[in-house]
Chains A and B, each alone.
Chain A
Amino acid sequence: MDVLNDFITVLNSTLRLSTPLLLACLAGLFSERAGIFDIGLEGKMLCAAFFSAAVAAITGSVWIGMAAGIASSLALSALHGVASITFRGNQLISGVAINFLAAGMTVLIAQSWFKQGGRTPSLKGNGRFNPVELPVAESLKDIPVFGPIYQGLISGHTILVYVALLMVPLTWWILYRTRFGLRLRAVGEAPEAVDTAGVSVIKLRFAAVGICGVLCGIAGAYLSTGLQAGFVKDMTAGRGYIALAALIFAKWRPGYALISCLLFGFLQAIALRPDLIERYLSFKVQIQLLDVLPYILTVIILAGFVGKATPPRAGGEPYVKEQ
């Protein structure tokens, strides 16, 4: 039973740590599939994390908080869109600018609203997402193996974890089974063809960047009101960049995105338990190695050792008519 318990605690932690990565990764997927590179995932998540926590602290409702978080993330998305779609600016530079803007702005506003050193007050009760008990979890827990897994691992997460997992099939369905998805993928590969067909490249790209903003908003809200009970400066701690790495690792596909985010989350979770690694593998693993492994894996994938990661062909290029 001990093995099962260890297994459940590590996988629980994996799920919690993977969720923000997964949401941000899918956000990046929509944007990049439409040909807009987005290095500003980190900034958008941070901004959403702050506004979710701040508004939830003021109104006492986590849902209003999350709406505010999504709105703030959408505003940054719009900025990115205007800079890189309308004015055809460099997408990477616009993304970096968003990261800097979010890092500075959140602390500044937090300090002027709450005067707690760039923090928001601790959220209580309905101000944060509480764990959801799935039906009959309590009564099933005595069934061997399945009971503890259902009650301990599958049940008992905040609702956003389930939302993130459901986003994976939904993303696949939108991209591969709807007309909008077909056009969105086309606009990232050959925007001139989409334009010739009489569909607006600009509108499609703005729609993709908007979806990206919503997903980043949910990811940020999950960080500050699901995993935590408040905002702390720079609390995204590089998760936006890991999500970008996961996106490359997933070769810009929703199903693979789930796998790569779970893998990266698992590596982070196992790094928290050096005692378990030692017990089951009977040798010590450097924690730093586990921390750096996602990046090493991404470099290996990029270098073409394990299949080829081909980014969308028109990615990073602003679209200019009749060129």
Chain B
Amino acid sequence: MSLMHKFLGAATALSFSAVTAIAEPALIFDLGGKFDKSFNESAFNGATRWATENNSSFKEIELQSDAQREQALRRFAESGANPIVMAGFMFATALGEVAKDYPDTKFAIIDMVVDAPNVRSVVFNEHEGSYLVGMLAAQASKTGTVGFIGGMDIPLIRKFACGYVQGVKSVNPDAVVVQNMTGTTPAAWNDPVKGSELTKAQIAQGADVVYAAAGGTGVGVLQTAADENILSIGVDSNQNYLHSGKVLTSMLKRVDNAVYDAMTQGADLETGFNIMGISNGGVGYALDEHNASLITADMQASVDAASGQIANGSLAVHDYMSDNSCPVE
């Protein structure tokens, strides 16, 4: 009887795979969950946009634990999904293992580099986006002092800081940028209390615009900035709505565009490095009804001009991670 069951099961599985022979793309969310108002949700939005435009569908899974990473990758690969997109650098190790076992399946990993012939590694030019919001900060500041609050002290966050400082100095070479990192352990991503205190400390030093690149810690930064009536700048997704009229802008990382792009290319996904910068809509700044009154036409014009120059290559923003140093501070 049980043998019979197995046969029946196998037959069903076969018939299913026959139906879904046209490769469906798959999307794996990281532990933050699909509706995290940030990274994962942005990835989901990109996939949904692709699905509605092409009248198609995609497979998805929300991870519940670290142990599921490899399992989820293998299951999608076995089921014939192609390409498989995963949101988050945490997938690097699992993907390194799995990618070589499924040479005919294409994978795309966001925010990390995995060196395999069938993997597309999507990385963002965060320094370019930070440069733009730095320009806005310098123009909105009345005191000539602006702040930067980073999460954990790692090269990636210094890359944000370095781009930001370059942007500030391009508008006002005499501007002072007060920089603080929240900590050196992962707890620094989720310490809004310390974020608040750092914001107050920066206000005491004269800062009137503060840029937070600090995950959950940034929630405290934006809150305190709004309470103390100064401006703040959000990060990753559009956070302008959190305190309407008090958030100057947000540095956008267009994870949705990266996912959309990967799914559009489908099974013929171009592998290797994929750098999402200003030129291909990978990073930018947010402008919506919540901050329309804060960004003047002049500010917008200057930033759009710089954006164009960065896109066509006539203006280069130094990338901290290229040589682990920053020319300005």
14 A-B pairs in the complex with CB atoms less than 8 angstroms apart: A6-B204, A9-B204, A16-B197, A115-B35, A118-B33, A223-B193, A228-B192, A228-B193, A228-B223, A235-B216, A238-B187, A268-B194, A275-B178, A291-B183
Tell me if A323 is interfacial: C-beta within 8 Å of chain B.
no
Across-interface contacts of A1 in B (CB, < 8 A): none
Question: Contact string, A257-277, partner B, CB cutoff 8 A, digits 1/0?
Answer: 000000000001100110100
A4 to chain B, nearest CB (A): 13
Name which residue of chain A comes closest to B215, CB basis.
A232
* Further pairs besides A9-B204, A223-B193, A272-B194: 12, Cβ < 8 Å: A9-B201, A116-B36, A118-B32, A118-B33, A122-B223, A228-B192, A228-B220, A237-B190, A237-B193, A273-B204, A275-B205, A288-B184
B27 to chain A, nearest CB (A): 17
B201 touches A13 (CB 8 A): yes
Across-interface contacts of A273 in B (CB, < 8 A): 201, 204-205
Give chain B's interface secondary structure class: helix
Across-interface contacts of A183 in B (CB, < 8 A): none
Q: Interface range on chain B: under 10, 10 to 19, 20 to 34, or 35 or more?
A: 20 to 34
Tell me if B242 is interfacial: C-beta within 8 Å of chain A.
yes
A275 to chain B, nearest CB (A): 6
Tell me if B200 is interfacial: C-beta within 8 Å of chain A.
yes
Question: Contact string, A1-35, partner B, CB cutoff 8 A, digits 1/0?
Answer: 00001100100010011001000000000000000
Tell me if B142 is interfacial: C-beta within 8 Å of chain A.
no
Tell me if A111 is interfacial: C-beta within 8 Å of chain B.
yes
Contact of B197 among A115, A229, A234, A272 (CB under 8 A): A272
Across-interface contacts of A251 in B (CB, < 8 A): none
B56 to chain A, nearest CB (A): 26
Inter-chain CA distance A152–B38, complex, in Å, is 38
Number of A-B residue pairs, CB cutoff 8 Å, is: 85
Across-interface contacts of B223 in A (CB, < 8 A): 122, 228-230
Inter-chain CA distance A229–B242, complex, in Å, is 12
Question: Contact string, B167-203, partner A, CB cutoff 8 A, digits 1/0?
Answer: 0000000000010110110010011111011101100
Interface residues of B in 26-53 (CB under 8 A from A): 32-33, 35-38, 41
A230 touches B219 (CB 8 A): yes
Across-interface contacts of A115 in B (CB, < 8 A): 35
Contact of A272 among B32, B41, B201, B242 (CB under 8 A): B201
Nearest first, the 3 closest Cβ-Cβ pairs linking A and B are A117-B36, A237-B191, A272-B201
Inter-chain CA distance A16–B194, complex, in Å, is 10
Tell me if A119 is interfacial: C-beta within 8 Å of chain B.
yes
Question: Contact string, A213-255, partner B, CB cutoff 8 A, digits 1/0?
Answer: 0000000000100011110111101100000000000000000
B194 touches A117 (CB 8 A): no
A116 touches B37 (CB 8 A): yes
Question: Contact string, A152-167, partner B, CB cutoff 8 A, digits 1/0?
Answer: 0000000000000000
B196 touches A234 (CB 8 A): no
Inter-chain CA distance A122–B227, complex, in Å, is 12
Across-interface contacts of B37 in A (CB, < 8 A): 116-117, 119
Across-interface contacts of A272 in B (CB, < 8 A): 180, 194, 197-198, 201
Across-interface contacts of A237 in B (CB, < 8 A): 187, 190-191, 193-194
A119 touches B219 (CB 8 A): yes
